[in-house]
Structure 1
Amino acid sequence: MTARVPERPARPRPVRLALALVLLVALPVVPGIVATGSPAARIPGESLVVLLLLAVTPWRRLRIGLASAFAVFVVVAIAVAGIDRGFRIVLGNRFDPLDWPLIGSALGVASDSIGAASVAVLVAVLAVVALAAGVALAWAALHVDAVIRRARRARTALTAVTAGWVTIALVGSVLAIPEPVTAAASTDTIGSAFSRASAALHARAAMAHTLARDAFAAVPGSELLTALRGKDVVFAFVESYGRVAVEGTSFSAGVRATLREGEAALSAHGYAAQSAWLTSPTFGAGSWLAHATLHTGVWIDAPAVYDTVVESTRFTLSDAFRRAGWSTIADVPSNVKAWPVGTTFYHYDTLLGADDVGYRGPVFGYGRIPDQYTWKHFADTVLAGPHAPVMAEIDLVSSHAPWAPLPQLVPWAQATDSTVYDPQPAQSEPAAKVWQDARTVQRFYGQSIQYSLGAMFSFLENVDDPNLVVIALGDHQPATIVSGEDAGHDVPISIIARDPAVMRAVEGWHWTPGMRPTDASPVWRMDAFRDRFLTAFAPVG
């Protein structure tokens, strides 16, 4: 005779009801907790609203739809709050839904830091958690609604709680109570995000007027950049080279030492330099926004604004050089895909990406190609031998997060031998280990800046070009984990040349002699540079 298996007792209804109530109270206020870091208990207005709607809805399918929509709304609010919190921590600003391209960039950097597989697992886990939270919240709303429908006292309690919520909310608003009992955190989060998106769209619409005003757009090439005729001009963006790199931090002493040594070497080779500060439109990421700001003379602080600008005919620095007869080149070693904006907007004659420079060595995190290789390849293929004057933008990426593993400087003659870099990643700590400690991250950041600057100095010391002019600058400050809170948006900029006439042309800028700007150095907004540069080397009118 087969023994009878006892049936599992059903979970008591009070326990299920209690669980449902906890979910309805806890999940909708999570966005507020994420935003403020405060776990203060509050009564969420969204849960009361959905319960009232369910109570007056006679059709079951519609009730299921309402509960599901409520759950999706809350889960989306939690996700937006989490992303916004991340933006504030890393980038120092609020998340605008129109800034979604930055999320992809962040995932790319995370992949370089902890590995693509780890990022994929993390994203999958978050997706499962979000789905589970949504299902649980929809169930909770329907379960509580079912209880309310069966018990008159429950309907009375819902009415009383709702009336109390409204009363307390009104009193709290009038008295400006700092920690109110009532909350609408999910609604506030979504509403705030939409408000920021609306403001961004308004700014984008107003940009047309700004783009239309351009004193240089109609200047003929014969009148542009006349004081730089015959010069090879390089705009070198040093990734994440911010003000914190050269002053007031635990790692700035090493960077200053590199600048001093490089300045002495440049002086020995006949170069002079002057430096100042530019205020970048971005912080911690979004390099392309800074590049476009410098080129266009327009303040581009968001992807939506960037999209508007690059769809326009705004006159860029590369346009000015091209119109004046220079051969123009963009050397962007981080590009692994086609970059149509390089030709449709910047109008570069030549685009060089990761697959165009012959590098066959190891990958160094996000900085796939060591900066010294980039400089040597540029010197050998662009500047060597007789050539027409060149204007180039070179994006140096060895100092891009995650700042590990780090490349090392090699003898200049070997810098384009890819095999020389093969052992270097193993000689550096991996990013996953570096990012376990903030101080270690900061130390590796400082070392990456020292490497990038050292690579530039090795180029200047070894290329015998009396007509070479280099404008070296940072694109933005590093992320908050390195910069700290309230670090500002300033980045160093230096102009380097052998020809004294170049320095005479910028005397009116009153920049500080040498490679390191000081507290007394001028601070310009980055969008002011284009007009001042074009004016200094060929005044309009």
Structure 2
Amino acid sequence: MPPSAPEQEPADSPSEQPVTEPVTESVSEPVTDSEGASAAHPSLKARIAYLRGWRGRHPGAARGVWWAVTLLSLVWVIGALLLPNRMAALQVNRFIRLPGEAIIGAAVLLALPRRPRIALAALGGAVLGALTVLNLLDIGFVDYLGRDFNLVLDWGLLDDAQSYLADTLGRTAALAAAVGVVLLVVLVITVTALATVRLSNILVRDPRRATRGTLIAGTAWITCSVLGLQYAGIPVASDRVANQLQSEARKVRDTIRDEAAFGKETRSDTFGNTPADQLVPDLRGKDMIFTFIESYGRSAIEDPIMAPGVDATLQARTEALAKAGFRAKSGWLTSATYGGSSWLGHSTTLSGLWVDNQQRYRTVMASDHLSLTKAFRKTGAWDTVGIMPGVQKGWPEAKFYGLDKVYNAFQMGYRGPKFSWSTMPDQYALEAFQQLEHSKRRDKPLMSEIILTSSHQPWAPIPKMVGWDELGDGSVFDAIEAAGNKASDVIADPTKSKEEYGKSIQYSVTALTEWLERYGSDDTVLVFLGDHQPISRVSGENASRDVPISIVAKDPKVLDKIASWKWTDGLRPAHNAPVWKMSSFRDRFLTAYGSTMHPKKD
């Protein structure tokens, strides 16, 4: 807490600086100084001396600058001490509080000699600046991923964020954003350190008054804390930074502990030792398709802006499938992720483990835990393939998922335009799957994992359905992409984002179900679901993490096997349909279709 204003101006206050006359030098006879510089061109030292003398020449302006910088330093440091880590909490009442850390800091600094004081003030300011950066990261992560930034695990996601910006706004904009972020971090930490040092220097100009002010502020803080005094519902006595430091330390500790505990969990498996002939016997001979639709969440079906269009599409597609002989049942799963990190949703669904952070994902991918898709491969009764239009580099995860063959973004023959982050429209990816794998003659059925990406943010531009026979190499989408919305027109507008998100879900569901209607057979079984809810700007503050899941088949025996699940008939799950944790789906599915549990113990 800063001391009250001193009765006299500080010794280095601009009002007490001696007035110095500007240095004048004769130019009629050039003189060379010791460094060989012409006197007609003043040396660097002379220029610096001249600039320093401006306070003496302009005392009024110097005093104004001195007070302005001091006030800004005070506001900056107090603001950093009180800054919340939630966008919704950025209210005036959060900053009209008494920070206990400032009082303790002032008391410690007053007790130290000059050099240790300056060093500690700079270090404390740098730490405070770093905590400010973490608060800003928390705000961004909560907005996009529904959780705080993890100091141990989430640095790699920043690179993914840059790649997303490059795909969405272009490489130049992404590079500029990356440089801007780095400069902002350096600036915040540096400015906070300098501001703290400046305030510490002011403290020691009048130690007696500073000590008295610190004692008064400390007494006020204790009184407010004991009495529980509040302003606009917020305690006046703040210990925000202390709590944040404790919280970050606890998260780091819990993250480290979780790694060991989850490693043990992956080594135990209820179906880990199940013989091949006892895995999914009731699905033998069926072509199995597991499909994830990007960002397909409960909000798409229930939000008043998106729901009318999405619900109408689900109803229309349910009726169209029924005419083709298909029936569907639908329910809800609670995803392990929110707003992004789709791979966490994929791995949670297929592993039967709760994979809610990058560390857990790496652990499960390196394990021999039985994924749902690998179970089909283990039987020896299915060929397995992955259609991954979002994969643009090596993908070692194919081993965990038990996929014999994987097609990435560059292996499906697409020559059309990208749709922002999405490398190709879902309709094209599905047709490529048909031509490359599904239509081939084979001596065993096919198990496929397909990731559809057209509903990935920023939902601009969005593909449109074209004739299936017109897809060719994807060039047909050139005009559609060019005529679509620009990402920059949608990202900053929450209402527009909701509208376009809803349209993207309608497109993805339509493409998938039209493919099934066109190419599905009596032995086709489709399981499709969302991987997570869209970001909070679209799904809303405090939205659930629920996503829809549907099983579609012609063979009535397939859906009869899950009658006990009490899922809703059709593609749209009822509001009160059962909600399960996403990690429970693997075991429920395996059990429903005749698999026998043979646990594998750690």
TM-score by length of 2: 0.83
Whole-Å Cα distance in 2 between the matches of residues 187 and 111 of structure 1?
38
- Deviation by residue 1:479-515 (Cα, 9 ceiling, x = unmatched): 1111112221111111111222212222222221111
Matched, 1:80 2:134: yes
Whole-Å Cα distance in 1 between the matches of residues 182 and 242 of structure 2?
21
Deviation of residue 31 (structure 1)? 5.8
Deviation of residue 335 (structure 1)? 0.9
The answer to whether the 8 Å contact 1:97/1:194 transfers is: no
Aligned counterpart, 2:437: 382
The answer to whether the 8 Å contact 1:77/1:187 transfers is: no
Aligned counterpart, 1:305: 360
Whole-Å Cα distance in 1 between the matches of residues 273 and 463 of structure 2?
45
In terms of mean alpha carbon deviation, does 48-57 or 440-449 score higher? 48-57
The answer to whether the 8 Å contact 1:403/1:445 transfers is: yes
SS in 2 for 1:354: coil
The 1:85–1:369 alpha-carbon spacing in structure 2 relative to 1, beyond 3 Å, is same
- Deviation by residue 1:79-135 (Cα, 9 ceiling, x = unmatched): 110111122223333332234144433443344443332343234334334333433
Whole-Å Cα distance in 2 between the matches of residues 162 and 310 of structure 1?
55
SS in 1 for 2:309: helix
Deviation of residue 293 (structure 1)? 0.9
SS in 2 for 1:274: strand
Aligned counterpart, 1:122: 177
Matched, 1:527 2:580: no
The answer to whether the 8 Å contact 2:287/2:446 transfers is: yes
Alignment counterpart, residue 166 of structure 1, candidates 218, 226, 237: 218
Aligned counterpart, 1:236: 291
Gaps of 5+ in 2: 1-25, 29-39, 41-49, 598-602
Whole-Å Cα distance in 2 between the matches of residues 133 and 539 of structure 1?
57
Alignment counterpart, residue 66 of structure 2, candidates 8, 13, 16: 16
Q: Which amino acid aligns with 2:489?
A: K
The answer to whether the 8 Å contact 1:25/1:42 transfers is: no
Whole-Å Cα distance in 2 between the matches of residues 508 and 271 of structure 1?
20
Q: Which amino acid aligns with 2:227?
A: L
The 1:59–1:148 alpha-carbon spacing in structure 2 relative to 1, beyond 3 Å, is closer
Alignment counterpart, residue 256 of structure 2, candidates 201, 218, 232: 201
Aligned counterpart, 2:227: 175
Q: Which amino acid aligns with 2:244?
A: T
Report 1:91-130 matches (<5 A): 91-100=145-154, 101-130=156-185
Q: Which amino acid aligns with 2:207?
A: R
Q: Which amino acid aligns with 1:37?
A: L
The 1:28–1:202 alpha-carbon spacing in structure 2 relative to 1, beyond 3 Å, is farther
- Deviation by residue 1:343-386 (Cα, 9 ceiling, x = unmatched): 2x223211221112111110101111110111001011111131
Whole-Å Cα distance in 2 between the matches of residues 70 and 483 of structure 1?
39
Report 1:496-535 matches (<5 A): 496-535=552-591
Whole-Å Cα distance in 2 between the matches of residues 210 and 339 of structure 1?
24
Deviation of residue 266 (structure 1)? 1.3
Whole-Å Cα distance in 2 between the matches of residues 394 and 18 of structure 1?
60
The answer to whether the 8 Å contact 1:359/1:369 transfers is: yes
Whole-Å Cα distance in 2 between the matches of residues 358 and 464 of structure 1?
23
Deviation of residue 180 (structure 1)? 4.5
Whole-Å Cα distance in 2 between the matches of residues 164 and 142 of structure 1?
22
- Deviation by residue 1:257-284 (Cα, 9 ceiling, x = unmatched): 2112212221222211111111112111
Alignment counterpart, residue 269 of structure 1, candidates 318, 324, 334: 324
In terms of mean alpha carbon deviation, does 464-473 or 192-201 score higher? 192-201
Whole-Å Cα distance in 2 between the matches of residues 91 and 155 of structure 1?
48
Whole-Å Cα distance in 1 between the matches of residues 460 and 524 of structure 2?
32
Alignment counterpart, residue 393 of structure 1, candidates 428, 449, 464: 449
SS in 2 for 1:329: strand
Aligned counterpart, 2:8: none
The answer to whether the 8 Å contact 1:165/1:182 transfers is: no
The answer to whether the 8 Å contact 2:294/2:531 transfers is: yes
Identity percentage over the alignment? 34
The 1:198–1:375 alpha-carbon spacing in structure 2 relative to 1, beyond 3 Å, is same
Matched, 1:457 2:521: no
The 1:218–1:159 alpha-carbon spacing in structure 2 relative to 1, beyond 3 Å, is same
The answer to whether the 8 Å contact 2:328/2:551 transfers is: yes
Aligned counterpart, 1:334: 390
In terms of mean alpha carbon deviation, does 501-510 or 392-401 score higher? 501-510
Deviation of residue 51 (structure 1)? 4.9
Aligned counterpart, 1:473: 529
Aligned counterpart, 1:66: 120
Deviation of residue 537 (structure 1)? 0.9
Report 1:178-193 matches (<5 A): 178=230, 179-193=234-248
The 1:351–1:68 alpha-carbon spacing in structure 2 relative to 1, beyond 3 Å, is farther
Whole-Å Cα distance in 1 between the matches of residues 82 and 403 of structure 2?
47
The 1:250–1:63 alpha-carbon spacing in structure 2 relative to 1, beyond 3 Å, is same
Aligned counterpart, 2:7: none
The 1:253–1:44 alpha-carbon spacing in structure 2 relative to 1, beyond 3 Å, is same
The 1:298–1:54 alpha-carbon spacing in structure 2 relative to 1, beyond 3 Å, is same
Aligned counterpart, 1:292: 347
The answer to whether the 8 Å contact 1:246/1:252 transfers is: yes
Q: Which amino acid aligns with 2:429?
A: T
Whole-Å Cα distance in 2 between the matches of residues 304 and 187 of structure 1?
27
The answer to whether the 8 Å contact 1:376/1:416 transfers is: no
Whole-Å Cα distance in 2 between the matches of residues 335 and 158 of structure 1?
61
Aligned counterpart, 1:26: 76
- Deviation by residue 1:233-252 (Cα, 9 ceiling, x = unmatched): 11100111111111242121
Q: Which amino acid aligns with 1:200?
A: T
Q: Which amino acid aligns with 2:393?
A: K
Aligned counterpart, 2:413: 358
The answer to whether the 8 Å contact 2:267/2:367 transfers is: no
Gaps of 5+ in 1: none
Report 1:361-372 matches (<5 A): 361-372=416-427
The answer to whether the 8 Å contact 1:29/1:185 transfers is: no
SS in 1 for 2:272: coil
The answer to whether the 8 Å contact 1:28/1:46 transfers is: no
Whole-Å Cα distance in 1 between the matches of residues 440 and 398 of structure 2?
26
Structure of larger gyration radius: 2
The answer to whether the 8 Å contact 1:68/1:134 transfers is: no
SS in 2 for 1:495: strand
Whole-Å Cα distance in 2 between the matches of residues 131 and 215 of structure 1?
50
SS in 2 for 1:477: coil
The 1:21–1:409 alpha-carbon spacing in structure 2 relative to 1, beyond 3 Å, is same
Whole-Å Cα distance in 2 between the matches of residues 213 and 328 of structure 1?
25
SS in 1 for 2:564: helix
The answer to whether the 8 Å contact 1:112/1:402 transfers is: no
TM-score by length of 1: 0.91
Whole-Å Cα distance in 2 between the matches of residues 453 and 50 of structure 1?
58
Aligned counterpart, 2:483: 427
SS in 1 for 2:339: coil
Number of residue equivalences:
536
Whole-Å Cα distance in 1 between the matches of residues 341 and 139 of structure 2?
17
The answer to whether the 8 Å contact 2:285/2:445 transfers is: yes
The answer to whether the 8 Å contact 1:238/1:472 transfers is: yes
Aligned counterpart, 1:157: 209
Whole-Å Cα distance in 2 between the matches of residues 274 and 162 of structure 1?
67
